[in-house]
């Protein structure tokens, strides 16, 4: 999608939000809060995809990485009675699974999509086998309200009164954008994903660069998982991530492998889902619940069909690097 | 990725270099899956042991319940039937360079379509069964074609679309079974029972659906190795640009392969509906499609080998259900064993231990984001 279109769309949506806010403050804020909550794991997971793919590695295993992290975070917190420890366990699990993918897809040069699928299937198996009913978290995560900023109408209550993961999800894309496009690490990451043979010639260790990036990206997948079970839901169920890891890949593509683009795309997803839920709750439209549940998936397919071919993936993505 | 190797008879292997090969290298296609399964059993055994149960006893319970009685054998055959077909569905996709993760959704759509065709019409048996099966195949094929067309004409990765179509199918069949196709006067979310004329018969203890699945597997083994269309599938899978250069329509082949793949998964749902469940109920068919991925990779994308792979998984699933009340072990241990099998069979780790030939090619089937 060209930048002009994206900006126009963003402007129209922002204008609509402001009009909605003037008409009905309470509902607008509640829809936006819903949208942001919905978007947070998608944003974090999309960043995982961006880091991996910019380095030339497809990560289809984000879903499994998130599921295992959500599981480990929740049961870690329940077992230790400590939310912070649980969160760290969740994030650590994400990084271990990042390393798992790095070993498979980079070191062993496995087919990258199969390596990711192995993670997904393994995650479903392990989390259902070790699942225990009736565990509870030792407490709830704090909501941090930023004084001053939180009293701005509309934006204040939505953006500046949230849990820590939500702030992280809003800041990390900006940070990642700077890292990717303004630093040496970013230039090298992109070169490894676009033309690894050239990077190799100029002395960049392609394999080790890919390995570390994929592993560190796992950390963000861990955050996304820990957010879901610890901050957002306060519980864990089998199959908890419900395909968000895959939706995140679509968001990554929709955002043209750009962290800021993906942030906007994730919010757009959240908004669509939020508006649909609100319309249904208000009985404005009599749509069966199942169709509301389908919406993000249908939207993913439709958007992919529209933008595919207009955005270009990193040139070397999906190909294990072989020295000539 | 873009190399074509005439010696590559099934996925992932080139002819081993005779100077460097050991005794096991001649049979990689059989040795690797068998060893992977055994190692996965060992890991599963450790998990069982950690829960305070003797793994050997647990496995004895599992296998004796599945294979020790005629009823168990019938259940194993019934369970394996849709698994053979979803395994074939994934296999056909892989051979044409497509990774169909959507067998689950295609199976669900096929199952509910067949249930409708089974209860809505009154026909003689000789027409009703083929009609209902064909309708299920058609539903599955149509569902998969969405992903096939998007892949061929819009370069959208089938990996993402088929996953999304799974989620949509789950919601869709739940809606259909709870609203328009619901059995009246029933609190349960399910369709009416199929007519007697649509029910698949059994020959002795062998369900006819099982025989059908084996015939279909043998047919596709022949199809892929002996027909022009099968050759097109393989060529497009191994090297799309060579296929294009040879005058094949890569786009049409992709759409067709995806439709065939979805049709097979749909047939899996159809046979399950007509032969086992007798109606559609959303909870009946969970997870069958994902086992298809494990089967296809375990069988190294060989249609005939999908039969033993599916039988193994069918046995584990049947026996796993008995584990719960006889030993207290969660039946999900089977999922862990299968996931580890998949890991061992697709990662080079085990292959490196087994074979002296270090040049074993990795299984490379997928093409990234729509190359």
Q: What is the Cα–Cα distance from A269 to A36, expressed in whole angstroms? A: 10
Domain map (residue ranges) of chain B:
23-354
- The pLDDT, as a whole number, for residue A311 is 79
Chain B interface test: which of A106, A114, A116 (most B C-beta within 10 Å): A114
d(CA B351, CA B357): 9
Sign of CA dihedral B75, B163, A292, A168: positive
pLDDT value at residue B366 = 52
pLDDT of residue A289: 83
Query: Contact at 8 Å (CB) between A32 and A19?
Result: no
Q: pLDDT tens for residues B315-342? A: 998 988 888 888 888 888 888 898 888 8
Nearest one of A125, A130, A115 to A62, comparing CA atoms: A115
Spatial neighbors of B49 by CB under 8 A, at least 6 apart, are B55
Touching check for A121 and chain B: CB below 8 Å?
A: yes
Q: What is the mean pLDDT of chain B?
A: 85
| C-alpha closest to that of A231 among A319, A166, A147 | A166
Q: Residue A25: helix, strand or coil by DSSP?
A: helix
Name which residue leads in pLDDT, B333 or B347.
Answer: B333
Structural domain containing residue A275: 26-307
Instruction: Check residue B15 and give its pLDDT.
Output: 43
Give the Cα separation of A121 and B339 in Å (integer): 6
More confident call, A282 vs B132: B132
- Which comes out higher in pLDDT, residue A2 or B58? B58
Instruction: Answer yes or no: is pLDDT of B65 > 90.
Output: no
pLDDT at residue B14 greater than cutoff 70: no
Question: What is the pLDDT confidence band of residue A275, given thresholds at 50, 70 and 90?
Answer: confident
A238 pLDDT band (50/70/90 cuts)?
Answer: confident
Element (H, E) at A145: strand A144-145
Query: Mean pLDDT across the stretch B256-261?
Result: 97
Give domain status of residue A18, yes or no.
no
B155 has a pLDDT exceeding 90: no
Interface contact A249, partner B, CB < 8 A: yes
Q: How far apart are CA B286 and CA B169, in angstroms?
A: 12
A314 conformational bin, left if phi > 0, alpha if psi -120 to 50, beta if neither:
beta
Q: Are strands A144-145 and A161-162 parallel, antiparallel or unpaired?
A: antiparallel
Name which of A108, A247, A293 is nearest B347 (Cβ-Cβ): A108
Overall average pLDDT of the A262-271 stretch: 90
pLDDT at residue B205, as a whole number: 87
Find out whether A266 and A46 touch, Cβ atoms under 8 Å: yes
Instruction: Say which DSSP state B198 is in.
Output: G
Residue B43 has pLDDT above 60, yes or no: yes
pLDDT over 90 percentage in chain A: 40
The answer to the question of residue A3 being in a domain is: no
Q: Per-residue pLDDT for B20 more than 90?
A: no
Greater model confidence, B169 or A315 = B169
Number of domains in chain A: 1
Distance from CA of A145 to the nearest CA of B (A): 36
Is the confidence at residue B371, as pLDDT, over 50? no
Are A304 and B150 in contact, with CB atoms under 8 Å apart? yes
pLDDT of residue B2: 36
A266, containing H or E segment: helix A259-281
Report pLDDT for B27.
Answer: 59
CB B357 within 8 A of CB B17: yes
CA distances from A130 to A90, A234, B42, B320, B330 (A): 15, 18, 18, 15, 9
Q: B89-100 burial, b if ≥16 CB within 10 A, otherwise e?
A: bbbbbbbbbbbb
254-313 in B: which are within 8 Å (CB) of A?
A: 290, 293-294, 297
Q: For residue B163, give the nearest of A118, A126, A246 by CB distance.
A: A246
Which of A101-110, A113-122, A147-156, B292-301 shows the lowest mean pLDDT across its residues? A147-156
From A115, A291, A319, residue closest to B1, measured CB to CB: A319
pLDDT for residue A198 is more than 80: yes
Instruction: State yes or no: pLDDT of B368 exceeds 60.
Output: no
- Write the residue in A125, A247, A313 that is nearest to B335 by C-beta: A125
Establish if A8 belongs to a structural domain: no
Query: What does chain A come to in residues?
Result: 324
Tokens of A18: 């402001």
pLDDT in tens, B276-321: 988 998 877 666 777 898 899 888 889 999 999 999 999 998 988 8
A324 in a structural domain: no
Q: Do the chains contact at A246 and B347, CB–CB below 8 Å?
A: no
The pLDDT value recorded for residue B176 is: 93
pLDDT at A175: 96
More reliable by pLDDT, B283 or A248: A248
pLDDT at B78: 93
Architecture of the domain delimited by B23-354: Orthogonal Bundle (1.10)
**B345 interfaces chain A, CB cutoff of 8 Å:** no
pLDDT, tens digit, 9 for 90 and up, residues B198-213: 888 888 889 999 999 9
Whether A117 sits inside 8 A of B175 (CB atoms) is: no
Q: What is the mean pLDDT of residues B28-40?
A: 84
- Assess if residue A89 is contained within a domain: yes
Segment A90-94 shows an average pLDDT of 96
Q: Tell me whether residues A109 and B362 touch, CB distance under 8 A.
A: yes
Rounded CA-CA distance B329/B48 in Å is 7
- Note the ipTM here: 0.84
In a domain, A68, yes or no: yes
Q: Is A317 on the interface with B (CB under 8 A)?
A: yes
Task: Of A251, A145, A172, give the one whose Cα is nearest residue B164.
Answer: A251
Query: How does residue A234 score in pLDDT terms, banded at 50, 70 and 90?
Result: confident
Q: Say which of A110, A113, A293 has its CB closest to residue B348.
A: A110
CATH number, residue A184: 1.10.3470
Tokens of A34: 């819903």
Q: Look-up: residue for tokens 């500046």? A: A160
Average pLDDT over residues B54-80: 91
B368 close to A (CB below 8 A): yes
**Residue of chain A whose alpha carbon sits nearest to that of B335:** A125
Q: What pLDDT score does B361 carry?
A: 52
pLDDT digit string (tens) for A286-314? 778 888 888 888 988 998 888 877 778 88
In B303-342, the residues whose Cβ lies within 8 Å of chain A are 330, 332-333, 335-340, 342
Yes or no, beta carbons of A294 and B154 under 8 Å apart: no
Asked if B159 has any chain A CB less than 8 Å from its own CB, the reply is yes
- For residue A66, pLDDT over 90 is answered with yes
Q: Do A114 and B343 touch (CB under 8 A)?
A: no
Q: What span, in angstroms and rounded, lies between the C-alpha atoms of A120 and B159?
A: 13
- Grade residue B252 by pLDDT with cuts at 50, 70 and 90: very high
* Chain A residues 138-167 with CB within 8 Å of chain B: none
Give the separation between CA A267 and CA A281, rounded to whole angstroms: 20
pLDDT at B367 over 70: no
* Least confident window among A52-61, A191-200, A229-238: A229-238
Residues 205-244 of B with CB under 8 A from A: none
Distance (Å) from the alpha carbon of A166 to chain B's nearest alpha carbon: 26
Q: What is the CA radius of gyration of chain A?
A: 20
Contacts of A317 in chain B (CB under 8 A): 368-369
Tokens of A21: 């806010």
- CA A222 to CA A88: how far, in whole Å? 9
Stated pTM of the model: 0.87
Q: With an 8 Å Cβ cutoff, are A309 and B161 in contact?
A: no
* Cα–Cα nearest to A176, from A4, A298, A65, A45: A45
> Tokens 């022949």 label which residue?
B222
Say if A87 falls within a structural domain. yes
């Amino acid at each position: 999608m060209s930048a002009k279109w994206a900006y126009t769309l963003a402007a129209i949506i922002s204008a609509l939000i402001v009009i909605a806010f003037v008409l009905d403050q309470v509902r607008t804020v509640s829809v936006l809060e819903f949208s942001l909550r919905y978007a947070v794991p998608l944003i974090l997971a999309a960043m995982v995809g961006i880091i991996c793919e910019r380095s030339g590695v497809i990560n289809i295993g984000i879903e499994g990485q998130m599921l295992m992290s959500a599981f480990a975070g929740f049961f870690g917190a329940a077992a230790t009675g400590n939310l912070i420890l649980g969160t760290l366990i969740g994030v650590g699990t994400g990084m271990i699974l990042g390393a798992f993918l790095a070993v498979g897809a980079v070191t062993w040069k496995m087919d990258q999509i199969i390596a990711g699928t192995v993670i997904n299937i393994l995650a479903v198996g392990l989390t259902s086998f070790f699942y225990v009913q009736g565990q509870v978290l030792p407490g709830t995560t704090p909501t941090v309200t930023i004084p001053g900023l939180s009293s701005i109408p509309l934006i204040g209550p939505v953006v500046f009164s949230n849990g820590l993961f939500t702030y992280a999800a809003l800041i990390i894309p900006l940070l990642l954008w700077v890292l990717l496009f303004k630093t040496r690490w970013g230039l090298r990451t992109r070169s490894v994903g676009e033309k690894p043979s050239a990077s190799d010639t100029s002395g960049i260790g392609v394999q080790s660069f890919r390995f570390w990036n994929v592993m560190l990206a796992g950390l963000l997948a861990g955050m996304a998982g820990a957010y879901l079970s610890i901050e957002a839901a306060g519980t864990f169920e089998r199959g908890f991530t419900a395909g968000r890891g895959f939706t995140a890949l679509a968001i990554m593509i929709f955002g043209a492998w750009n962290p800021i683009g993906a942030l906007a795309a994730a919010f757009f997803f959240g908004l669509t889902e939020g508006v649909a839920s609100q319309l249904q709750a208000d009985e404005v439209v009599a749509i069966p619940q199942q169709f509301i549940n389908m919406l993000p998936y249908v939207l993913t397919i439709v958007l992919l069909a529209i933008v595919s071919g207009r955005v270009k993936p990193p040139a070397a993505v999906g190909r294990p690097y072989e020295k000539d | 990725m873009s190399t074509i190797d005439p010696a590559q008879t099934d996925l992932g292997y080139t002819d081993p270099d005779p100077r460097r090969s050991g005794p096991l290298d001649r049979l990689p296609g059989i040795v690797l899956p068998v060893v992977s399964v055994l190692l996965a059993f060992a890991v599963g055994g450790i998990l069982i042991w950690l829960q305070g149960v003797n793994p050997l006893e647990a496995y004895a319970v599992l296998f004796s319940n599945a294979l020790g009685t005629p009823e168990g054998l019938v259940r194993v055959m019934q369970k394996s039937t849709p698994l053979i077909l979803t395994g074939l569905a994934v296999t056909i996709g892989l051979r044409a360079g497509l990774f169909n993760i959507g067998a689950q959704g295609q199976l669900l759509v096929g199952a509910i379509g067949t249930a409708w065709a089974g209860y809505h019409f009154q026909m003689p048996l000789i027409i009703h069964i083929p009609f209902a099966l064909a309708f299920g195949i058609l539903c599955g094929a149509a569902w998969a074609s969405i992903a096939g067309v998007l892949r061929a004409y819009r370069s959208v990765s089938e990996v993402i679309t088929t996953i999304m179509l799974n989620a949509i199918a789950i919601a869709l069949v739940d809606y259909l079974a709870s609203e328009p196709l619901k059995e009246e006067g029933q609190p349960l979310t399910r369709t009416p029972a199929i007519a007697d004329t649509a029910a698949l018969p059994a020959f002795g203890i062998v369900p006819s659906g099982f025989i059908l699945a084996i015939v279909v597997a043998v047919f596709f083994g022949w199809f892929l190795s002996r027909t022009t269309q099968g050759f097109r599938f393989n060529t497009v899978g191994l090297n799309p640009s060579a296929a294009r250069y040879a005058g094949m329509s890569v786009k049409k082949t992709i759409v067709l392969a995806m439709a065939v793949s979805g049709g097979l998964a749909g047939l899996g749902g159809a046979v399950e509906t007509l032969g086992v469940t007798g109606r559609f109920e959303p909870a009946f068919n969970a997870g069958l499609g994902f086992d298809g991925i494990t089967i296809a990779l375990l069988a190294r994308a060989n249609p005939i080998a999908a039969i033993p792979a599916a039988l193994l998984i069918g046995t584990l699933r049947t026996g796993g259900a008995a584990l719960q009340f006889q030993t207290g072990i969660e039946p999900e241990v089977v999922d862990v064993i299968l996931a580890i099998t998949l890991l061992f069979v697709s990662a080079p780790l085990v292959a490196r231990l087994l074979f002296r030939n270090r040049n074993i090619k990795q299984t490379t089937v997928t093409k990234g984001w729509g190359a």
